[in-house]
Chains A and B, each alone.
Chain A
Amino acid sequence: MANLKSLKVKEFLPLLKGRQTRFESAPSELVQISDQAMTLAKALHPKRQYLKVAEVKDISPDCKSFTLVPDPERGTKELAYFGAGKYLTVFETIEGMPVTRAYSISSSPKDSLEGKYVLTIKLVDGGLMSRYIFDTWTEGANVEVSAPSGNFEYQPLRDAKKVICLAGGSGITPFLSMANAIADGDEDFEMTLLYGSRDYDNILFREELEELEKKCDKIKVVHVLSEKTKRGVKGLEKGFITAELIQKYAPENEPYSVFLCGPQQMYEFVDKELEKIGLQKKYIRHEMFGEFRNPASQPDYPAGVPDKIKITVTIQDKTYIIFGSSADSVMQTIEKNGLSVPARCRSGECGFCHSHLISGKVYVPEHLEYRRLADYKFGCIHPCCSFPLTDLEINVPVAK
C-alpha cells in the first residue's frame, strides 16, 4: 500500500519553534483592520439612538407627526438607515415606570440619510405612551429609540411585483414610507394602496398620498370609507375592504402580494376575506398590531385563573417579588412594578424579551406563538405575550 515515507519526518520541532518565531517577529502595534462588515453592523444596528424632537405637526385632531433628528451631544451622530416598513421602539420612563412602544417609521429611508425620522402617532384611548408623547414631545425634547427593527418589508425574491397594500387608520405609516421609497427609487414594486378610513375628512396624509400618486406611476391610492363618501370626489370606495374590492384592484393574470397594517379588528375581518380569494400564504404579510390585551376573551383561555398573581423575578443578581393581575402580560406586570424588561416588538414576534420560566404556567394566544421549538422543551417564554395562569418564578435578562 502507498505510504508517506517520501515525506520528511524531522520537520515537527522546527514547525513548533517556527510558529513562536513568527509571532515574535510580527509587529506589536494594535492595528485596526479595515472591516466594513463590522462598520455596517454597527451603523445599521446601533444599540440605542439618542434623538431630539425637531418638529411636531398636527395630522388630525388625534394624530401628530414627530420629526426626530440625531443628538450628537448624547452620542448619536447619524441615524441608522432602514428598509421602508421598519419600526422604532421608543423608550420612556413614565412616573418611574419604564415603558416601551413600537411605532412604524412613516418617513422615507432617504430622509434618514439626511438625519430625519418621522414617527406618526395616534392618541390611543387610555394609551399610556401616546398620551405621554403628546404631552411631552415638544420641540427640543430628548427621545431615546432602538435601531430600526421588524420584518415588514418588501422582498423582491419573495413578494410579487404588484402589491395590494391594505391600511387601516394609523396603519398607513409603514406604507407611507414604502410609497416614498418607491418614488425615490429605493424600492421597486407597484403599490395599490386600499386605505380604510371612517370618512373623507378623517383620511390621514390625503394630500401627501395624492402627491405621491401624481409623482410616481407605480403608486395608486384608493380610499375606502366606512361611513360616508364625499360628493364630487372620484374614485372613492364605500364600505370595508372585502374580497371583491381587493379583486377589483388586483391584477388579473399575474400574481400579487397583499400587505396588511391596521388594528386587530381589521385583520380579523380582512383575513376572512383573503381566505375567500385563496391566495398562497407567501403572498400575504401582516405587520404586527402591537400589544395583545384581554386574554380571557380567547376561546381557549382556561377557567378558574386567579385575578391576583405573584411573580418572583430574577434579573442578574437581584430577585424581586411583585404582584399583578392575570389580565396583564408578564411584561406589563414587571413594568408596572417599576422594573425594566428587554422589549422591542411587544407582539411576541421578535423574541427580544426571551426569558426563562422557572416555575408556574402561562397562557400564550395561539396567533402570537413565535417561540422556538426548543423554548417549549426548556421552558422559555416571551413575557410580552405570556399571561400568568398561576404564580410564576422567572429569570429575565437585564434591559439594555
Chain B
Amino acid sequence: MKKYDVIIIGAGNGGLAAAATCAKAGLSTLLLERHNIPGGSASSFVRGRFEFEPSLHELASIGSPEEVGSIEEMFCRMGAEVDWCKHDSTFRLVVPAKEGDKDAFLNENGVMVTVDARMPVGFQPFARKLDELVPGSYDSCMAAFDLSTRMFKAFECLDDPTKLPGSLKDVPDIMRMVTHTVKEGLDALGMPKKAQDIFNTYWCYMGSPASKFDFLYYMCVLHSYVKSGTGIPRLRSHEMSLSIDKVIRDNGGDIWYNSEVTKVIMENGKPAGVVINGEKEVYGKYFICNSSPNAVWNDLFDKKDIPEKQLKMLNARKIACSLTTVYLGMNKTKEELGIKDYSIFIAPDSDSDKQYEAAQNFFSGFCIINCLNEIIPDCTPEGTSQLFLTTMTFGDVMKDIKPQDYKKFKTKVAKDMIETCEKTLNISITPYIEEIEIALPPTFARYLNTPWGTPYGYMLEKWDSMIPRTVQYMQDQPFSNFFFCGASQERGDGYGCAYYTGEKAGGIVVKKIKEGK
C-alpha cells in the first residue's frame, strides 16, 4: 500500500496552506477533510439569489497597488489565483448613549451616542481622527504606530539577519510589548482612556480584551489593518479555498473530501497512519493536523497514547470565543437601507473588558454589522444587498437550550441583533429581509468540530500569546512527526494566521523529509 510523505488532517485554511506547501515541494501529499468542500470557515453558501460570505470580515495584509501585502504574497507564492477586492477604511465604532450620559451627542443617523468613530486608513490620518475625537491623543497614537513599525522591521531580521544590528536598539521595547498588556502599553504611552477604547475596537478579532491581551500582538493586528487597508476575495472565501485546492491538485497532491479521520494509528509510540470514516486505513511518514486539539485528543487517540503534556495543555488553556452570525439577503440596496460603511461595530460600552464580561452571556448588545456591497457592489443582484451581523460569546452559553427550543432561540437572538442594529443606526432592516440564515455556536461546532464551536482556538492571553507560542512551538508539538496548525496554534484565529501556521508546519515537514529524517 502507498505510504504518503505527509498526511494532512483537515482542509481548513491551515491544512490547505500546509498541503500546498508540501505538494509544491514535491512531497507525496494527502489532504483529508470531513466535509464535502474545503476551507472550514473559509467557504460560502447559497440561499435563493444570494451567495453569503460565512465568516470573513476582512483580510489585512492584502496590501496596496504599490506594495503587495503578505497574504497576497503568500497566494502568489503558492500560485493560487484570487481576485482581490480592496478596501480603504478600517472600522466605525458606534456606542449608543445611555440615560444620563453627560457626553452624549446626536450623530449623523440622528441617534444619541457617546462615541461615533469612523476611522480611516493610514497611521497619520488614523491618529489625526483619533485626536479630533479625543483631543490630546495624537502623540500617543503615533507613538504606538512607531513602535509597531519598528517591531515589524525587527521581525524582518528573522528572515534576514543582516538587518539585525539596526534593529537591536528596538529589542527592549519589543520585550516590553510582549510582557505587558494592551492597557499597560497604552497607559505608558499616555493615551487617554476614551481614545484607548476606540483604538482597541479590533480586540474582538482576536477575542482577548485590553487587560489580558499582550500589547505586541494587538499592535501587529491593528498595524496591518491601518497601514494599507484590507481586502476580500471577489467570489467569497470559497474562491480562496478552491484556489488552494487547485494548487494542491496541480502539484500532484491528493485531496479526499467526506473523508473524516476517525482514528490515528500508532506504531512504536508515533503516529503511523489514520483510519478514515471508521474503515479505510492510510499510512504516512508525517502528519499535519488542522483539527482542534480538543477534538484530536478526545476522539482520535487512545488515552494511553496521548503525551501527558498535551492533556495538561488542554487543561491549562482557556477556550476562546464562539460566534453567532445572522446572514441577511436584503431586497433593498445599501443606499436604500441607509448603510454607508462596510464594518460598523456597535457596542453598549466602549471598554473592551466590559464587552468581554458582557459576552459571557448570550447577546450582550455587542454586534458588528457588515455590508459586503460596500466593497463588492455587484455581489448581489441589482436592487439588493447582503448584510451579516456578528456577535461573540464565551463559554457554554447554550447550556439551557434543548433541541426543541433551538429554532425559537435562534430566531430570538437574530431578532435582538437585528433590532439593535436598527435602533443604533436608525434604519429599517426587518421588512426587507428576503433570505435569512442564522448560525449559532452549534452551527460552528458542526462545521468546525471545536469546543463551543469556537473558530478562535484558545484565548490569546498575555501568558499564552503569539510570541511565547511561536518561540515554544516545537516543544509544544506532541510527536516528532506530528504538527498542529490552524487557530489553536501560534497566531490564534484569523485566515492569515491560519495560512501562516499551515505554511510553516508544511515547511517543517518539507525540511525534515529533504534532510532524510
Contacts and interface: CB of A to CB of B under 8 A. Distances in A.
Contacts of A2: 139-140, 143, 188-190
Interface in B220-270: 235-236, 238-239, 241-243, 245-246, 249, 254, 256-260
Contacts of A22: 316, 463-464
Interface string A24-39: 1111111111111110
B453 interface: yes
B399 A34 contact: yes
A15 B173 CA distance: 15
A377 B235 contact: yes
**Taking chain B's interface residues, is the majority helix, strand, or loop, or is none over half, making it mixed?**
helix
Interface stretch (B89-97, B364-372, B411-419, B506-514): B411-419
Contacts, number: 237
A233 interface: no
Given A1-B146, A342-B36, A12 B46 contact: no
Interface string A241-271: 0000000000000000000000000000000
Contacts of B68: none
Interface in A131-181: 151, 155-158
A374 B319 contact: no
B188 A30 contact: no
A8 B452 CA distance: 37
Nearest to B312: A26
B453 A26 contact: no
Interface residues of A, number: 73
B188 A6 contact: yes
Interface in B160-190: 172-173, 175-180, 184-185, 188-190
Interface in A289-306: none
A41 B442 contact: yes
B48 A281 contact: yes
A24 to B, nearest CB: 7
Interface string B180-219: 1000110011100000000000000000000000000000
Contacts of B277: 398, 400
B175 to A, nearest CB: 4
A16 to B, nearest CB: 6
A38 B316 CA distance: 21
Contacts of A31: 314-315
B288 to A, nearest CB: 19
B433 A158 contact: yes
Among B45, B238, B432, the one with the most A-chain Cβ atoms within 10 Å of its Cβ is B238
Among B176, B189, B260, the one with the most A-chain Cβ atoms within 10 Å of its Cβ is B176
A36 to B, nearest CB: 4
A380 B46 CA distance: 15
A282 B434 contact: yes
Interface in B309-335: 309, 311-316, 319, 322, 331
B77 interface: no
B51 A33 contact: no
Interface string A324-354: 0000000000000000001000000101111
A374 B239 contact: yes
A280 interface: yes
Nearest to A43: B403
Contacts of A32: 298
B446 to A, nearest CB: 4
A35 B51 contact: no
B147 A397 contact: no
A372 B446 CA distance: 21
A206 to B, nearest CB: 29
A375 interface: yes
A33 B436 contact: no
Nearest to B33: A397
Nearest to A16: B468
**Taking chain A's interface residues, is the majority helix, strand, or loop, or is none over half, making it mixed?**
loop
A399 interface: yes
Contacts of A378: 242-243, 245-246
B189 A3 contact: yes
A352 B280 contact: no
A281 B184 contact: no
Among B146, B445, B463, B471, the one with the most A-chain Cβ atoms within 10 Å of its Cβ is B445
B436 A9 contact: no
A132 B391 CA distance: 48
Given A31-B315, A36-B401, A4 B256 contact: no
A358 B239 CA distance: 17
Contacts of A19: 463-464, 468, 472
Given A2-B139, A38-B452, A351 B298 contact: no
Nearest to B245: A378
Nearest to B298: A30
A38 B298 CA distance: 13
A321 interface: no
Contacts of A375: 238, 242
B189 A397 contact: no
A211 interface: no
Contact of B396 (A28, A33, A45, A156): A33
Given A4-B176, A377-B235, A316 B256 contact: yes
A72 to B, nearest CB: 18
A11 interface: yes
A370 interface: yes
Among B322, B403, B436, the one with the most A-chain Cβ atoms within 10 Å of its Cβ is B403
A380 to B, nearest CB: 7
Given A19-B463, A40-B401, A157-B414, A372 B238 contact: yes
Among A6, A23, A44, A317, the one with the most B-chain Cβ atoms within 10 Å of its Cβ is A23
A373 B236 contact: yes
B138 to A, nearest CB: 11
B51 A372 contact: yes
Among B180, B185, B404, B432, the one with the most A-chain Cβ atoms within 10 Å of its Cβ is B404
A157 B313 contact: no
Contacts of B446: 41, 44-45
Contact of B309 (A23, A109, A353): A23
A40 B440 CA distance: 11
Interface in B406-443: 406-407, 411, 414-415, 418, 430, 432-436, 440-443
Interface in A349-381: 349, 351-354, 356, 370-375, 377-378, 380
Contact of A38 (B2, B435, B442): B442
Contacts of A189: none
A96 interface: no
B442 A15 contact: no
Contacts of A6: 188
Interface of B: 2, 36-37, 44-49, 51, 139-140, 142-143, 146-147, 172-173, 175-180, 184-185, 188-190, 235-236, 238-239, 241-243, 245-246, 249, 254, 256-260, 276-277, 280, 294, 297-298, 303, 306, 308-309, 311-316, 319, 322, 331, 396-401, 403-404, 406-407, 411, 414-415, 418, 430, 432-436, 440-446, 451-453, 462-464, 468, 471-472, 475
Top 6 nearest A-B pairs (CB, nearest first) are A282-B434, A397-B257, A37-B441, A26-B316, A374-B239, A11-B179
28 contacts: A2-B140, A3-B189, A4-B177, A9-B172, A12-B178, A18-B463, A19-B472, A28-B315, A29-B311, A30-B297, A31-B314, A36-B442, A37-B442, A37-B445, A37-B452, A41-B443, A158-B436, A316-B256, A351-B46, A353-B36, A370-B46, A372-B45, A372-B51, A372-B236, A372-B238, A373-B239, A374-B236, A374-B243
Given A26-B313, A400-B260, 19 more contacts: A4-B173, A4-B176, A4-B177, A7-B176, A7-B188, A11-B179, A12-B178, A23-B312, A30-B303, A36-B400, A41-B453, A44-B446, A158-B433, A158-B434, A282-B432, A282-B434, A374-B235, A374-B238, A374-B243
